[in-house]
């Protein structure tokens, strides 16, 4: 790529304020009790921008989650043997899809080097929202005449920066509700060196956190990776002098994007030498650096959601209850005329599963718990229908009213749990 000016990358640690704190963890919160969520734009950003910090946190026993907004489909590839994966390569026809999959493999190696055990892409897992996208494409970028990153004029319509901000913020908020991080970390408004996806990630993450203000799910603090140093910036600064070894090995994992040129230096595809900096600095974007209950949330309201094991137990127990109860009355049918019949028992059974699924998804703040409830009820119905052919509690065969009611009850249990997930998601979004 020909550049009109030398690419500009901020160097962390050039300005350290007198009031700087040296931890992202709020005062009074023990590392082993803390959870931190990093929100990054592409695979490799977690390593190059925050690798020293993440390595130090995981070494200290902090639980670290990473949410990556895109799979980096528009990245330039350093290795000539893999350059055909580039979305802009003349021989490429998949718009960078294969590169995104390849970079996912690199990301897994980076996560191992950093000690991160929890990762998701935007639109997946805890950030999944019914009816919304399950993946977002890298927007790409180009270099401006001043050496700063600017928007890619050929960015695809389905890329991160071309799609609605609100949906992305809602997805991040959903992840925060389930993960319950004490601290969230993303970019500052300038996106570091200005990448459009970094800026959008900042906007979406800040909007997500603000939408949770006043709720038990709100984190204590939101930190932004400091870009160009500004001595006039009065926001609280955090300075992390972290692990260069973790950072270097995590960066090494992203070989399509980064070349490690020495123990302390690296290059991107543009060949500009940069230091592998063990010092990483942040500015407080929202919240407080002090431990405690988030603003406007009383201790009585800050009730922790059940953990995965308790959530699973609740879901299975309710699924068995709903499945058994519905089975007992699903075959009740009203015959207003000889030609017309209404399977009100099956409808009541389906409503039982729906309300149970909605409740468990809201109570546990985990949509998968509602899916587990529905699956449990469905399996139980199947046992009642097929385990003993001479004494069936559920007859599944739509050749007569009783068989039709059984069919409706069996399939309706799965539909009911899906609707319960959608209702619970809508409830949480409206609540915030």
| pLDDT tens by residue, 151-180 | 888 788 899 999 999 999 999 999 999 999
Residue 81 pLDDT greater than 70, yes or no: yes
CA distance 367 to 65: 18
Centre a 10 Å sphere on the Cβ of residue 319 and count the other Cβ atoms it contains: 27
Question: For the CA atoms of the chain, what is the radius of gyration?
Answer: 26
| pLDDT tens by residue, 206-264 | 999 999 999 999 999 999 999 988 889 999 999 999 989 999 999 999 999 999 999 99
CB-based contact 319:373 (threshold 8 Å): yes
CA distance 365 to 369: 8
CB-based contact 203:285 (threshold 8 Å): no
Axis crossing angle, helix 367-386 with helix 308-329, rounded to the nearest 10:
40
Residue 391 pLDDT greater than 70, yes or no: no
CA distance 169 to 137: 16
Listed residue (44, 151, 142) closest to 99, CA to CA:
44
Q: Which residue has the higher pLDDT, 331 or 284?
A: 284
**The CA-based dihedral angle spanning residues 57, 24, 220, 213, taken in that order and rounded to the nearest 10 degrees:** -110
* Structure confidence at residue 206 (pLDDT): 98
CB-based contact 206:12 (threshold 8 Å): no
Q: Label residue 5 by pLDDT band (50, 70, 90).
A: low
């Amino acid at each position: 790529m020909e550049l009109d000016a030398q690419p500009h990358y901020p160097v962390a640690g050039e300005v350290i304020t007198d009031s700087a704190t040296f931890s992202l963890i709020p005062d009074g919160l023990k590392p082993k009790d803390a959870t931190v969520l990093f929100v990054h734009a592409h695979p490799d950003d977690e390593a190059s921008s925050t690798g020293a910090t993440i390595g130090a946190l995981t070494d200290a026993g902090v639980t670290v989650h990473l949410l990556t907004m895109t799979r980096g489909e528009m990245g330039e590839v350093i290795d000539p043997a893999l350059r055909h994966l580039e979305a802009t390569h003349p021989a490429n026809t998949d718009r960078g899809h294969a590169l995104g999959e390849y970079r996912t493999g690199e990301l897994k190696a980076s996560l191992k080097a950093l000690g991160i055990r929890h990762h998701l892409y935007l639109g997946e897992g805890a950030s999944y929202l019914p009816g919304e996208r399950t993946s977002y494409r890298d927007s790409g970028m180009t270099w401006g005449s001043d050496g700063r990153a600017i928007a890619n004029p050929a960015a695809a319509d389905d890329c991160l920066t071309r799609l609605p901000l609100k949906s992305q913020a809602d997805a991040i908020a959903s992840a925060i509700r389930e993960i319950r991080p004490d601290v969230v970390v993303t970019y500052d408004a300038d996106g570091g060196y200005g990448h459009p996806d970094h800026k959008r990630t900042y906007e979406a993450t800040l909007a997500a956190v603000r939408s949770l203000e006043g709720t038990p799910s709100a984190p204590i603090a939101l930190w932004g990776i400091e870009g160009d140093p500004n001595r006039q910036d009065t926001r609280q600064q955090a300075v992390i002098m972290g692990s260069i070894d973790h950072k270097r090995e995590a960066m090494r994992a992203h070989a399509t994007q980064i070349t490690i040129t020495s123990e302390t230096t690296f290059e991107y595809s543009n060949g500009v030498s940069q230091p592998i900096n063990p010092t990483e600095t942040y500015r407080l974007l929202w919240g407080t650096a002090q431990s405690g209950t988030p603003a406007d949330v009383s201790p009585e309201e800050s009730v922790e959601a059940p953990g995965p094991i308790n959530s699973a137990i609740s879901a299975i127990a309710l699924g068995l209850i709903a499945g058994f109860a519905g089975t007992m009355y699903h075959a009740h049918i009203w015959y207003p005329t000889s030609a017309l019949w209404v399977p009100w028992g099956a409808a009541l059974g389906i409503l039982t599963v729906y309300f149970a699924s909605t409740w468990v998804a809201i109570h546990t703040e985990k949509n998968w718990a509602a899916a587990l409830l529905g699956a449990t009820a469905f399996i139980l119905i199947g046992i009642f229908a097929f385990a003993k052919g001479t004494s069936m509690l559920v007859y599944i065969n739509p050749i007569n009213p009783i068989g039709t009611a059984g069919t409706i009850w069996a399939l309706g249990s799965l539909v009911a749990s899906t609707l319960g997930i959608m209702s619970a998601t809508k409830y949480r979004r409206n609540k915030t």
